Amino acid sequence: VAFRSLVDKFRFERVLNSNPQTKTISLLGLIDNAPAILTAEKTHFTFDENKVESPSASNESDSRTLHRCENEYTCINALQELRQLTSNDIYYWGLAVLKQNMDHNPTTRLNLIWPATTVHIRKFEQQQLHLVRETPETYERIVKPYIDEMYQLGRLKWVHNILYHGAEADRVVYRDFLDDNKRDGFVILPDMKWDGVNLDALYLVAIFYRDDLKSIRDLRPEDRNWLKSLNTKIKTIVPGCYNYTIRADELRIFVHYQPSYYHFHIHIVNVKHPGLNDGIAAGKAILLDDLIENLKYLGPRGYMNRTLTYVIGDNHDLWERGLREVVSKQLEEDGIPKTPKVVNDFA
């Protein structure tokens, strides 16, 4: 079904969340009577362009020129309207309308999930966040059964579509796949969170063919060399794919715990990007370099041995499935005094 016709049919119900810093808004609505989540993110300004000046196949060190704010759509070159609000001494401020262009500076990135499940809706909805320490015991008792259930629910169809059925094939940046060595294969492609245009916001995802890893909990010391070579491959391949406008040491490469999808994948993001929502925050993102290092010390059971501390929203199923009790028990064991009853006296 065409994206446009779906968006046209969207009937607004309520705002799930909005964030003035990330300039995103998530709306819940209906399309053909099924729930739909429409998320819009205002795109950032474009300003850098790298061009090969003397393309020659034999010349290894071809020279590239950085074009900054040159094209008519970069920076604020396409100023159409400007209204001054005020000026004071040497300070002036106002509002402007810039000319937008689909290829050079689109206005917004739109993201539709349809039909959306309750897991999706609850994830996008504004919620109270909590820090929880997940011990190996908590993992076995509460988290692992949940992961197994999620795995059965077919929430990974999009992953299998990318790996095996040619979905998003025209956008794949790199595919490493050997028939006789499926374990080492992977695909790098633009994340759904990226507009695909602005390198300042570069956001890629690497997805692996091996399916024995549901999360970092399944990583063992034997996987260390595999992760190391992945790290090197990512840092070698990605800058080349983007004309060296971004360099290897400008890539923040990390995984999430808890992830939303339990099939091992890695996030590759421009280090400048402040992250959408909690995507690169402490308590969610773990650097690939740190994973590799930690596997040296965690013993034969690897990440199964560790207590992992992370942020969880109280809309997450795991909260009601036991993490709520885990947190209150932990606070008690830590000797943190009980919070007195706080009454809100604002009318």
Beta strand 251-256 with 265-270: parallel, antiparallel or unpaired? antiparallel
* Percent composition of the chain: helix, strand, coil (DSSP 3-state, to 5): 30, 30, 40
Closest separation in Å from C-beta 38 to ligand M7G: 15
Closest separation in Å from C-beta 76 to ligand M7G: 29
**265 vs 306, beta carbon nearer ligand M7G:** 265
CB neighbourhood size of 127 (10 A): 16
**78 vs 311, beta carbon nearer ligand M7G:** 311
**73 vs 319, beta carbon nearer ligand M7G:** 319
Residues whose CB is less than 8 angstroms from the CB of residue 245 and which lie 6 or more positions away in sequence, other chains included: 48, 49, 50, 66, 199
Closest separation in Å from C-beta 41 to ligand M7G: 11
* Lookup: tokens for 315: 């809309």
Give the whole-angstrom CA distance, residue 46 versus residue 110.
18
| Catalytic residue (choose from 120, 265, 267, 316) | 265
**193 vs 252, beta carbon nearer ligand M7G:** 193
Give the whole-angstrom CA distance, residue 83 versus residue 93.
9
Residues whose CB is less than 8 angstroms from the CB of residue 310 and which lie 6 or more positions away in sequence, other chains included: 131, 132, 134, 257, 258, 283, 284
Q: What is the 3-state secondary structure (H, E, C) of 151-202?
A: HHCCCCHHHHHHHHCCCCHHHCCEEECCCCCHHHCEEEEECCCCCCCCHHHC
267 is an active site residue: no
Closest separation in Å from C-beta 157 to ligand M7G: 9
Name the residue type at position 329. Answer: K
Under a CB-based contact definition with an 8 Å cutoff, are residues 316 and 263 in contact?
Answer: no
Give the whole-angstrom CA distance, residue 204 versus residue 110.
17
**31 vs 187, beta carbon nearer ligand M7G:** 187
CA distances from 189 to 170, 171, 173, 186, 300 (A): 9, 6, 5, 10, 32
**252 vs 265, beta carbon nearer ligand M7G:** 265
**75 vs 119, beta carbon nearer ligand M7G:** 119
Helix (H) or strand (E) holding 5: helix 3-9
Closest separation in Å from C-beta 195 to ligand M7G: 12
Closest separation in Å from C-beta 255 to ligand M7G: 7
Closest separation in Å from C-beta 83 to ligand M7G: 36
Give the whole-angstrom CA distance, residue 201 versus residue 215.
25
Q: Which chain residues interact with ligand M7G by CB under 6 A?
A: 158, 168, 189-193, 205, 256, 259-261, 265, 267, 279
Give the whole-angstrom CA distance, residue 191 versus residue 86.
41
**Catalytic residues, which ones?**
265
